[in-house]
Amino acid sequence: MWIAELLALLIYPGGLWAFGLGIGYRVLTTWQLPTNGQLRFATDRPGWIALATLICVAGGLTGLPWPWHPSPHAFGWLGAWALLEVAAWLPLWPTLTAGTSRIVRAAMREAQISLLGRALLWGVAAIGFSNDNTLTGAALAGHGLMLVSGLLSLPAAINWGPFGPEPSLGPHGIVEGQSAKMAAAITFARDLVAAALITVVWQAGLPLASLPAWVAAMAIIAGSVVTILSLRWLQGRVPRFSVPVALRFTLGWAGSIALLAVIMLR
């Protein structure tokens, strides 16, 4: 049994798969691969942040019900939530302790918005992972509403588009003023978390247990790719929301639809 769990943690759906998801997310959002040694896990602070985030994301993905999972009952989605939540906070730590008031305020803004987005996203995920995955009319409608709610909470959860950094910080966002190595580590860590959360939305929103494994895998991958490309299209098209507006929008739309999903699945 431990061999299956080790394979799951190191290869699929853990470490190697998580690394590939992060690189795929970066390529689809920027059309560029990380270069100039940006993916080196050096034994310094930036390297440890990137490595710790990768470990947490790998462990989190291992707890999710992926198709062809070598050890499907590793520790469940509650463990996945805990590890991915830690992974989401790790890249914010250097900016929250940067010492520059402007950067700290911007990081606090992103932390508040993303915390609500992730709370709603995982609330929806909890419903989806706890459901019996039947394909009756009401259950199917409930899964559809969960998927919509998860997708609406996703931009806030990963600080994308109108939920992103303050425009005054420029194109580098909250990594402004950081060393090149630290900025690369933070960006890589946030890519890992964003890619993982996108797959969480699609796994929770689809009745995977009722689908053949290959159909479920194709649905997760295709849905994730479409989501990332849609986020890329959204970037720059909507002005930045203030924190109150971002919180109201996320709670009003994603929260309301999540409530409807709960009613449909009862």
The predicted model scores a pTM of 0.93
Q: How many domains does the chain have?
A: 1
Nearest CA to 204 out of 156, 140, 150 is that of 150
Look-up of token digits 């896990």: 41
- Identify the burial level of 111 via C-beta atoms within 10 angstroms of its C-beta, where 0-12 means exposed, 13-18 middle and 19 or more buried: middle
| Distance between CA atoms of residues 181 and 187, nearest Å | 10
Q: Could you read off the pLDDT of 20-49 as tens digits, one per residue?
A: 999 999 999 988 776 555 555 666 777 889
User: What count of Cα atoms within 13 Å lies in the side-chain half-sphere of residue 88?
Assistant: 27
Q: How far apart are the first and last CA of the chain?
A: 35
**For the residues 104-122, what does the mean pLDDT come to?**
93
Q: Where are the alpha helices (DSSP H) in the chain?
A: 2-10, 15-30, 45-62, 76-89, 93-96, 101-130, 137-157, 180-205, 213-234, 243-249, 256-265
CA–CA distances in Å: residue 183 to residues 42, 152, 198, 207, 233:
14, 28, 22, 38, 24
Whether 18 and 57 have beta carbons less than 8 Å apart is answered as: yes
| Distance between CA atoms of residues 255 and 251, nearest Å | 5
Percent of the chain with pLDDT over 90: 51
Nearest CA to 4 out of 67, 69, 58 is that of 69
SS3 4: helix
Token pair listed for 54: 């990768």
Nearest CA to 95 out of 175, 193, 185 is that of 175
Query: Could you tell me the residue range of the domain that residue 185 belongs to?
Result: 2-265
State yes or no: pLDDT of 238 exceeds 90: no
- Identify the burial level of 194 via C-beta atoms within 10 angstroms of its C-beta, where 0-12 means exposed, 13-18 middle and 19 or more buried: buried
- Identify the burial level of 178 via C-beta atoms within 10 angstroms of its C-beta, where 0-12 means exposed, 13-18 middle and 19 or more buried: buried
pLDDT at 150: 94
Confidence band, pLDDT 50/70/90 cuts, at residue 135: low
Q: Could you read off the pLDDT of 139-177 as tens digits, one per residue?
A: 788 888 999 999 999 999 999 989 988 777 766 778 877
Q: Could you read off the pLDDT of 251-265 as tens digits, one per residue?
A: 999 999 999 988 887
Whether 189 and 175 have beta carbons less than 8 Å apart is answered as: no
